Each structure stands twice: as C-alpha cells, then as structure tokens.
Amino acid sequence: MITNEEFQEHLPEDESTFHQLQRTSRDFLQGGSDLVSYLATLEELSDQKIPAEDFEQRIQAGLKCDHMLAELIAELSSTFKIWLLLDLPTAWVTEILERLPFVPPERIINLSVYKPHSDKDLFVRLIQDEVLRPSSTLLVDHDAHRSSTAIRVGLDVAIYVDADRLRRDFGLWRILPIN
C-alpha cells in the first residue's frame, strides 16, 4: 500500500501540473481512458515510470471495506432501496462488493458507463435515466465537489466522512434511530 508520505513525496510542485493530474485521474476513473494511456500520462506529467501491474496491485491493496459502513448500509437496506455508484473499475472493488450482498448487482452502476463530460452531466443523466430521483433520493458521497454539484441539480446529499458521522446525520434527519 502506498503511504501518505510516499504519495506527498511524488506530488508535483507546479499547481497546473497537479490540476492536470487530478483531471487525468478523474477521466480515467470515469472510464475516459484505459490503464495504459492513464499511466503513460502520469509518467509524462511526473517523470516516473509506473508499471501497470504494480499500480493495480497497490490500488487494490489499499482498498478496504469499511465494516461499520457496510453494517450501516445493511441496516438501511431493510427500509430503503440502495444503489451503489462506483467511480472505480469494478475489478478493483470485487472483494468489497462481496461484503455488500444486500446491494443486488442490477443496482450497482459503474459510472464509467456514462462517460460524463462533467459531474453535472453525470447527475443530469442519472436523473433522466431515473436512477436518481430528486426529492426521493439521498445521495451519499465522499467527494465534496461532486456532492455540491449534486445539490445544484436538485438532489439531497450527505457528504461521507466516516460511518459514525453518517449514522449521526441519519439520526438527526430521523432516517435511523439515534444510538
């Protein structure tokens, strides 16, 4: 697993390069490029060679299922319809998905299918496809930027920080009892 220190050590000092890395990564995660192209761009921007196999292994090793979040989702699934929107390649999260048996495969959507130009385009399309419904959908997302975009298109949003905070928020909103 890559440590935060290793990650920070390899961040570019130039802010425009950093933003280009962010855009490139988001494009890759949304299905806009394949792994080989993505790594070639990273290599070009960072002057570092990253073997594809090593990259995938390190990413997969770093992905963990938050057991408290899985329990919270299981509790919600008895009352609510749960959809899972993936912004990572499905192969990377297979082990995590196995721990979420209460989310049926037909309700797991890989966002790369939508190939959006922006987060706004993504949410508009998910609303048009009736995957997300304003006033009857609560979107939980860890990405603050994407969350604020969802709010602007009319969705109710909770920003995920950790399972305890999400449980507290659900209690305050009377979605779940407060423990």
Residue type, 153: V
pTM: 0.66
Cβ atoms of residues 80 and 71 within 8 Å: no
Model confidence pLDDT, tens digit, residues 37-62: 777 777 777 766 767 677 777 777 77
**Does residue 115 or residue 161 have the better pLDDT?**
161
- Whether residue 36 is predicted with pLDDT greater than 70 in this model: the reply is yes
Confidence band, pLDDT 50/70/90 cuts, at residue 2? very low
Confidence band, pLDDT 50/70/90 cuts, at residue 6? low
Cβ atoms of residues 42 and 34 within 8 Å: no
As its CATH architecture, domain 67-172 has 3-Layer(aba) Sandwich (3.40)
- Whether residue 159 is predicted with pLDDT greater than 60 in this model: the reply is yes
Model confidence pLDDT, tens digit, residues 105-153: 888 888 777 777 788 998 999 999 888 899 888 889 888 888 999 999 9
**pLDDT at position 168, please?**
93
What H or E segment, with its residue span, contains residue 71?
helix 67-77
**pLDDT at position 1, please?**
45
Tokens 């290599």 appear where?
Answer: 43
